[in-house]
Amino acid sequence: MQLSQVQTPHRLELPPSGLADAVVGYASLAGETIAANGNPEALSDLDVETLMLNLDASLRVYQREHFFSWTQGLLQSLIKHEVIVCALRSGEPPTLRADSFSMIAAEQAIFGELFLRDTSAALGLIKVWEDRGFRPLICDATDNSFCRGLFAQELGRVSATQILAHGTHDAQGQARGFYAFICAPGTLGPRHAYLARLVTPFLHAAWVRTEVNGRAKGNDPARRDEARRITTREEEILRWVALGKSNFEIGAILGISPLTVKNHVQKILRKLNVVNRAQAVGKAVELRMLNN
């Protein structure tokens, strides 16, 4: 199995001007499917406490496995989601890089890859968000013309079709960071749109830090060795961990005891230098250990 140190981000070349051609038929998105902005009164005391815990946690995110652990852990208590797609726009002419994080698929990158491959989804969501004055938008992948391609099909396959999208922009009014929470139908409302406005700047800063640190460590031979130390059996167990299986379930699948599985998991944590299963999966994704 061939390994690489850092996952190569997917890129989409953006047209130098005029995104209108890419968003034909999006008028319906600006109607009833867009949630209101929300307001502070929509938040309970528990919401405020949870928000502060998440903002504090985001400040400690420096590696991709940290980002995975945060977004698929504590951040779920704020905005419950099945997948989060992160996109970064940069360069001249501008290009879009994207990645995705999820506990429902072993192939983490599939959602980010399809987001960019399905240009009507990527360009369309960003265009509508910009036209709305950079306010959060909520829509359903099954209702709108921009979500009829491969991206929407994959969301339908995992039964997560509701989208909450928000981002960051520069002084020229151009999107820089763009984030889509992919949720089960009926999950989202105005309260979540307001929470997205509050958390997105921290989400953006955390993901950019992981991108910078990932590039800085990209040539470190020790990172290749981390993955090479994982045995075939441990890799097999790690794949089942990524799919959310418990020690008991993994033991039943592989015909070994739950205690043996637990011992393997502890070895995996030590070898990958992480503290829990979520971080182990995040690091395995970063090292592309689960791609084959």
Backbone angles phi, psi at 154, to 5 degrees: -70, -40
Cα-to-chain-centroid distance, residue 32: 26
Please tell me which residue, 10 or 257, carries the higher pLDDT value. 257
**In this structure, which amino acid lies at residue 87?**
A
Residues 6+ apart with CB under 8 A from 135: 37, 129, 166, 193, 197
Judge whether residue 5 has pLDDT over 80: no
3-state SS, residue 43: coil
Structure confidence by residue, pLDDT tens digits, 24-83: 333 333 333 334 445 656 788 999 999 999 999 999 998 888 899 899 999 999 999 999
Residues facing 167 on adjacent strands: 178
Top mean-pLDDT range of 3-17, 26-40, 123-137, 144-158: 123-137
Percent of the chain with pLDDT over 70: 76
pLDDT at residue number 19: 35
Angular region, 63: left φ>0, alpha ψ -120 to 50, beta rest: beta
Return the pLDDT at 226.
55
In angstroms, the Cα distances linking 207 to 181, 188, 252, 263 are: 14, 23, 37, 32
Would you state the pLDDT for residue 274?
79
pLDDT band at 217 (very low <50, low <70, confident <90, very high): low
**In this predicted structure, which of 19-28, 88-97, 126-135, 204-213 has the lowest mean pLDDT?**
19-28
